[in-house]
Amino acid sequence: MAQQIRDVVEQYVKLVGSGPTEDIVNLYAADATVEDPIGSEVKQGHAAIREFYDVLANLDRETELKPETIRIGGNHAAFMFSIITKFGDQRFTLTPIDVMEFDDDGKIISMRAYWGPDDMHTEAV
């Protein structure tokens, strides 16, 4: 199960960086929840999750997984990655820690992203 979870985490980060929204949504179980950032309103189910990730669809974006940060225990994983987006002459880098829980089929049933304003960095390009 650990390798399956690692594969889903790697696929998730890759898709957040460049993939279509529907492929991200398909990593989630039908009634899964997303809380991103932690403390925000929880989105539940494919429709709400699709709406959440669809914000990324038209952005100039890329991601970088920090593979040494992946920790897997049972049906849970925690990892750190960076998502870089560009708007005009600005580059924004956000480095959250995501915590996920998986069902027995390897689908994400819960994702909570830990980050705050201090974790967003802006620079001119």
Please list the active-site residues. 12, 36
Pairing between strand 76-87 and 60-65?
antiparallel
Q: Which 8-state DSSP code applies to residue 118?
A: G
Angstrom distance (rounded) from CA 64 to CA 86: 15
User: Is the bond preceding 37 in cis, omega lying within 30 degrees of 0?
Assistant: yes
Give the dihedral sign, CA 52/62/111/40: negative
The DSSP secondary structure of 41-82, one letter per residue, reads: PPEESHHHHHHHHHTTTTSEEEEEE-GGG-EEETTEEEEEEE
